[in-house]
Amino acid sequence: MRPWVFRYIVPESVPLLGGQDLSIPSYFFFLTLGFMIATNIVIREAERAGENVRAMLDLAILILISGLVGGRLGHILFEMPGLYVEHPEYILQFWRGGLVYYGGLLLSIVVAVIFCKRRKFDFWRVADIYAPAIAFGLVFGRMGCLSAGCCYGKPADFPFGWTVPWGISFYSGQVPADLRGIPLHPTQIYESVSSLGIYFFLVWLRRRQKFDGQIWWVFLAIYAVMRSVIEFFRFDLDRGVYLNGWLSTSQIISVILLAGSLVMLPVLARRARRAGAYGLGPAWPSMKTRDDAAHDDSLARNEAST
């Protein structure tokens, strides 16, 4: 674990900047790297689907902001409210860690729905573009968690003295003192590797997509199952657990998302069949794109006739 990419505190003798912490946390580094790569994936998918790339980049910025705000609010309200009541100056220091993934995801969905409605984009098509990017961004997000020592797992041992050979020991970070030096389940790596697998599956499915919204809801369904399983191996109890540790807040949200996926996938498939768009794939232009193209053709014909 390496909490810092770069560690430097300005000497007190330096005018104006003396004592300032200019260190770069590993968590923030991985978060930034994940966003940059995910944005490139969005650009590629938007071009392939014939959508407005500039609009998708505008939405990416809004999703970044809403993801940070939602993730931070989830952490403050549901995980460690006492800490921020005692130290309110920590609230804005998101670069040091303390983001709830589902909090950021849910607020980003709300922002994206509003954006698509105002800009007249089909939300399901936009969600399909973003789903692989979100999965890939999570790969780096969880590596940031590993570096910061948060989202840690339970002790990596089993009955009869068996020990998981890939257990990871932490000696600093957010791991409690009584767990330091003890091999723990690397739940951060579990989720990072699983998210990478989800990304490759979504890329494969994207080439075989049958209807708008399919990629998005398949992503939510797979992630919900994966997250629920990994939650059983996590030991950061401040994230919100119930029933003596057998149920977490994230698992409750995962059940809701999985149920929503099982409902919405057949609903959207039937809608596509009725519209005659089932099986046309992600490159089929949206209504907005078709209307714009028809308008451009009309202008071109008028110019040619004059």
Asked whether 185 and 167 are in contact (CB, 8 A), the reply is yes
Instruction: Please name the residues in contact with 299: beta carbons below 8 A apart, sequence gap of 6 or more.
Output: none
Q: Examine the pLDDT at 305 and tell me if it is beyond 90.
A: no
Q: Which of 33-42, 172-181, 197-206 has the lowest mean pLDDT?
A: 172-181
Q: How confident is the model at residue 254 (pLDDT cuts 50, 70, 90)?
A: very high
Asked whether 271 and 217 are in contact (CB, 8 A), the reply is no
Domains of the chain, residue spans: 24-284
Interval 272-289: pLDDT, tens: 999 887 876 665 444 344
What does pTM read for this prediction? 0.83
- Spell out a b/e string for 126-161, using b for 16 or more CB atoms within 10 Å of the CB, else e: bbbbbbbbbbbbbbbbbbbbbbbbbbbbbebeeeee
Helices (H), 120-248: 123-148, 187-206, 214-231
Higher-scoring residue by pLDDT: 65, 149: 65
- Spell out a b/e string for 167-204, using b for 16 or more CB atoms within 10 Å of the CB, else e: bbebeebbbeeebeeebbbbbbbbbbebbbebbebbee
Torsion angle defined by CA atoms of residues 59, 38, 129 and 204, in that order, rounded to the nearest 10 degrees:
180
pLDDT at 106: 93
Interval 24-61: pLDDT, tens: 888 889 999 999 999 999 999 999 888 999 999 999 99
Token readout for 255 is 């059940």
Q: How confident is the model at residue 296 (pLDDT cuts 50, 70, 90)?
A: very low
Interval 98-114: pLDDT, tens: 778 888 999 999 999 99
Residue carrying the six token digits 């020991």? 169
* Distance from C-alpha of 277 to C-alpha of 88, rounded to nearest angstrom: 52
Interval 137-174: pLDDT, tens: 999 999 988 988 888 899 987 766 677 788 888 887 77
Higher-scoring residue by pLDDT: 301, 136: 136
Q: What would the mean pLDDT of 202-231 be, rounded to a whole number?
A: 95
* Distance from C-alpha of 215 to C-alpha of 206, rounded to nearest angstrom: 7
